[in-house]
Structure 1
Amino acid sequence: MRKLIAVMALCGATSFLYGQGQPPHARHVSPASLNRNTGELFQESMRWNEYFFDNAESLIKSPSAGSHGAQGEGRRYMVRESSWYALGLLFRDQPGDRERAAKILDAVLKQQYTDPSVRWYGTYKRTPAEPTPPSKSELWRDYDPNWRVFIGTTFAMILIEYPDRVPAELRQRMYKAIDLGIAGEMREGRLVPAYTNIALMYGFLWDFAAIHDHNAAWKKKSVAWNEEVYRLFEKYGTFPEYNSPTYSGVDIYGLALWRDYGSSAHMREMGAAMETSLWRELANYYQPDLRNLSGPFDRAYGMDMTHYVSVVGVWMRTVLDASSAPLPPISATTDHLADIWFASHIAILGTAIPPDALAKMQHFAGAHAIRQNISAERTATAWLGDHVLIGGELTSKTKDAGGPSSQFHPATVHWRTPSGEIGWVQLVACPLVDASADENGLDIDTKGTVRLRIHAAGLKKEQIKSAAWHLPGLQVGITTDASGFSIDDGADSVDLVYSGLSHMRFDIKPVE
């Protein structure tokens, strides 16, 4: 891959690096041209958009079951997701769709912060009812800067693909909104190239704005930014934000923007090369018989992809039937339902999975181990077997598991229970940790108290002892120097607390 990029740099990157570039070209995809799986996904996505759409406000209401972005509140209006619906409407282009999309885009644009003196300049309210951040605002609590690029890239896709379907005045407002988003991000200065999913979207959007505005300074900076994102990827052959069922899917979106809309052949080639590599990495972690990615997860909103909507699962649905894809049956209360509304972007950009990766997603290629350096301090390890998935991340004791709300899961186990459901174990909380997976189990090294969560249909508290877990479909033997042990019952899971330890060994054996 490095040689290919080097050739591109020699052949065509010179003008790119000095500020030249071509405006992006539309893909000219229509709903009628979609394959069956993608068409079904798009239709289901639009059906749920319409179910939650409030015509009076021209915005989407949040699902009631804590979808990502809803913050658990339910029934509020969702600004970002409404822009996604507008893209879907313009793509579908049925009678009345253009008019509805225009009203939605107007409603979304009204939620942008336009005061250049504040840190949240250029981003958007997450919901119209959200108060303006106070002077001593806290990132994420009071505002989300990432809405600049989530909404901005959606606007860019509309302006590339469907400029004739949007009124001229609205088009100009969208271009201005993108510029404000870029200016606000530059001014805030909080984003780094290692924040992978946002860095990829930002790199595309910066390039797009620079070309449209003929802004040589932005072009030069966007080139440098994108080269640094690629350099970080090339160093270890993966992204610093590693193995996330949600955000690896957003990475693919950002890379698809690069490979289709990048202003130079060099940028498009970098995007395509990284996208191909990421798909192969995900395929290596995927067990199609269990319909799940193995851990460890840098960022995950759930442990069983068949029970919540992940963006990787949405991408995979375009090439797999509903019965095979790692997605749950969709209802109004499906966890993280809102992420299915990413389907319009995916349908338009197209899924570019290499054939060898697709084959692994369709049929399990056989038991195998994974060991992947992520950074100088971090190494991911995993074992994927016929009946069990085990994941562990070695962090050189630079990262901890921060509690039930943490997205970082450095130690994980998945298996199928006798009921047919997926059982799982995750390390919920512990101090600085090293976890390592192998064919027979999992090692955890830390110093202090460890909290593990077990979910398995048919699990009874009496089946669990400090040194042995007799779980439905799985036997686990524990060797540890822990001085204390307790069990806390949860709504649909059990938490185990081992205290005063430095090492734990889990010997794991599926039970037929």
Structure 2
Amino acid sequence: MPISWLFLSASCGTLSHVRRNDTLSFALNLLHESMNWMDMYYDTETGYLYSLNAAALTHETRASAWYASGLLARNEGNDVEQAVRIIRNVIDGQHKNASSQWYGDYQIYPEEPTVGREQYPPVIYNSWDPNWRGFIGTTFILILEEFPHLIPHEIQEYMLESLYNTSIGDSYRVGGVDDDNLYPAYSNPSIMRAFVTGWTGRRLNESNMTTAGEIYAKEVIDLFTRANTLSEFNSGTYAGVSLFALTLWAKYMPESSSMGQYGGDMIRKTWATLGSLYNANLKNVAGPWDRSYGYDMNRYLSILALQMWTLVGKKNAPINAKPYAMGHKDDFAIGPLVAILAPFHNTLIDNETFNSLLTFPGTHTVQTSAFSPPYDTYPRNITAWMSPYLTIGSETFSENVFGGPARSSNSFNPAVVQWARNDGTVGWLTLHAQVMDLIAVAGEKTLNLTYPSGNSTSTFTFLVGTNSRAGKRDVASWADVEGMSVNISGTIDPGYVVSFNGLVGGAGETINNFEFWNFTYSMPSDSVDIPNVLLKFDLSR
């Protein structure tokens, strides 16, 4: 019977009977909405999805694999036939040269030239993406676990061969070698790598592969249990991927595996942290964010928000009525996987966390830490002040790279402020940190930032979201920022420069498709002081 997986997958847990029934309907809703959207992109002539970026009728491999899982879950008309066709196509396009760094990985898109040729050189995370082994490998395993009765035997064997090859290829990855950055602290691909390798080893009775998966999982677990936090901390996108992968640990790995032993507990504790940082009034997880593709979860599509959809329903989650109109919309394609796992995953979340996703519990502070070796000199110290309509979050760090462990100043947000505006929209401010160390403390209506290694050439750059449609179009000072009064002091020159980064003009480009006003403070030219700035906030509601 179609969609029976929803009911067969549910198990006893902390959720009440009514809540479990609600989450089943929410998961089904996510499945159908995401599939209806992808149906429009499916090319029946080739057996692939067209590019979700509408890239001149080229196709896309990873989203096609995710779509195949949804076809099997929906199981209507010729869905199964098309899913099998997609799976075969994806494996046919797997990189087969065992001597290449990208062995066992999958094509970004089927029309691409051969990776490694002179005209198409191998550039990691561009012409090939090593994390796609994990994304597609986990999808294949979910399919083999949930829908084996729908997959012909020869295709199952082809999938197992593909998983073996992708596990071997993933073993080529060593952090710091050949431009690869896969360390255990790179949480989302590390959790997927351990799972795919360990599961495949068990399924094929390959003891060395099984052991390799367990060894890698232990490194991930050891980093997590230090403070019960993911090293890749508080990312709307990648916390979502990590929770997805941890659900595979908890659901499909035996108790004899450390992944089976720790997966469920890691999910509970990750959600507890996220719940403590979530403001249901703003529908946002407060900062800091190690890797973010936006500054307001109501405006960009995050995988974490899809998981919230299955917990509290679309209307109560940070999801627009038209998810495909949001920034980073491509991640809507993972919707079927989130929906398939939701009946199991959602039983692992405690009532306090669940309730925090619906109702803000009241003003409180959060203190924790996260650790990402080899980039961090010491664990990042995280503080957040949470109030009903204003949240302030920050992290102190000392690293050997710019832009956080992801080495991207555009996604690393170590100091973030968000507030509610009168029309219900969210205002935001983030430090665009281009330093290797920062002392940051979030307090009651305050944010204190210090560059311990800074000097007279240091600058503090704050990106501030544009006003609502009812607010001022032009911003020349803090007085023009809607909904918030900001007072700034410190060792900086009190004068500042304001510029605009817009979609079609201004001083520079947008970041993650968000327009913003850029407030930049400099130090006095002859200063010998340590660069410091203290921001004080008051809501002007």
Q: TM-score, normalised by structure 1?
A: 0.88
Q: CA RMSD of the aligned region, Å?
A: 2.4
State the alpha-carbon separation in 1 of the partners of residues 443 and 335 from structure 2: 36
8 Å contact from structure 1 (residues 86, 101) kept in 2: yes
AA of the residue aligned to 2:391:
L
> Which residue of structure 2 aligns with residue 4 of structure 1?
none
Shift of the alpha carbon at 1:460?
4.0
State the alpha-carbon separation in 2 of the partners of residues 133 and 428 from structure 1: 35
Shift of the alpha carbon at 1:238?
1.0
1:408 to 402, 408, 412: 412
Shift of the alpha carbon at 1:449?
2.1
8 Å contact from structure 1 (residues 27, 348) kept in 2: no
State the alpha-carbon separation in 1 of the partners of residues 199 and 56 from structure 2: 34
* Aligned 1:431-470 pairs, distance under 5 A: 431-432=435-436, 433-446=438-451, 447=454, 448-455=458-465, 456-457=467-468, 458=470, 460=472, 464-465=476-477, 468-470=478-480
> Which residue of structure 1 aligns with residue 387 of structure 2?
385
Shift of the alpha carbon at 1:240?
1.0
Per-residue CA deviation, residues 122-177 of structure 1 (Å, 9 max, x unaligned), is 11111123333337633212210000010001001111121221122221111111
State the alpha-carbon separation in 2 of the partners of residues 168 and 314 from structure 1: 33
SS at structure 1 position matched to 2:362: coil
2:187 to 156, 171, 196: 196
Shift of the alpha carbon at 1:461?
7.4
2:429 aligned with 1:425:
yes
2:522 aligned with 1:499:
yes
> Which residue of structure 2 aligns with residue 5 of structure 1?
none
Gaps (5+ residues) in structure 1?
Answer: 1-24, 66-72
1:294–1:270 Cα change, 3 Å: same
State the alpha-carbon separation in 2 of the partners of residues 209 and 424 from structure 1: 44
1:360 to 346, 356, 369: 356
1:101 to 83, 88, 100: 83
AA of the residue aligned to 1:297:
W
1:489 to 500, 507, 517: 500
1:211 to 194, 202, 211: 202
Gaps (5+ residues) in structure 2?
Answer: 11-20, 176-181, 372-377, 503-514, 525-530
State the alpha-carbon separation in 1 of the partners of residues 22 and 441 from structure 2: 45
Shift of the alpha carbon at 1:362?
1.3
State percent identity of aligned pairs: 29
1:388–1:76 Cα change, 3 Å: farther
Q: Which stretch shifts more, 48-57 or 404-413?
A: 404-413
SS at structure 2 position matched to 1:487: strand
State the alpha-carbon separation in 2 of the partners of residues 495 and 404 from structure 1: 18
State the alpha-carbon separation in 2 of the partners of residues 119 and 56 from structure 1: 32
State the alpha-carbon separation in 2 of the partners of residues 435 and 76 from structure 1: 45
> Which residue of structure 2 aligns with residue 334 of structure 1?
326
SS at structure 2 position matched to 1:188: coil
SS at structure 1 position matched to 2:226: helix
2:116 to 117, 134, 148: 134
State the alpha-carbon separation in 1 of the partners of residues 430 and 259 from structure 2: 38
* Aligned 1:278-357 pairs, distance under 5 A: 278-330=270-322, 332-350=324-342, 351=346, 352-357=348-353
In the TM superposition, structure 1's runs of 4+ consecutive aligned residues that sit over 6 Å from their partners are: 402-405
Per-residue CA deviation, residues 200-233 of structure 1 (Å, 9 max, x unaligned), is 1111111111111111111222222212211111
8 Å contact from structure 1 (residues 392, 412) kept in 2: yes
Shift of the alpha carbon at 1:192?
2.1
1:399–1:364 Cα change, 3 Å: farther
Per-residue CA deviation, residues 430-462 of structure 1 (Å, 9 max, x unaligned), is 323332211121112123123221113155476
SS at structure 2 position matched to 1:141: coil
Aligned length in residues? 478
8 Å contact from structure 1 (residues 404, 428) kept in 2: no
Shift of the alpha carbon at 1:59?
1.3
* Aligned 1:29-68 pairs, distance under 5 A: 29=9, 35-64=24-53
> Which residue of structure 1 aligns with residue 166 of structure 2?
181
AA of the residue aligned to 2:356:
K
AA of the residue aligned to 1:147:
W
> Which residue of structure 1 aligns with residue 509 of structure 2?
none
Shift of the alpha carbon at 1:336?
1.8
8 Å contact from structure 1 (residues 431, 450) kept in 2: no
1:233 to 224, 233, 255: 224
Shift of the alpha carbon at 1:186?
0.7
State the alpha-carbon separation in 2 of the partners of residues 34 and 325 from structure 1: 13
2:105 to 112, 119, 123: 123
Shift of the alpha carbon at 1:476?
0.6
8 Å contact from structure 2 (residues 417, 429) kept in 1: yes
SS at structure 1 position matched to 2:86: helix
8 Å contact from structure 1 (residues 381, 436) kept in 2: yes
2:537 aligned with 1:508:
yes
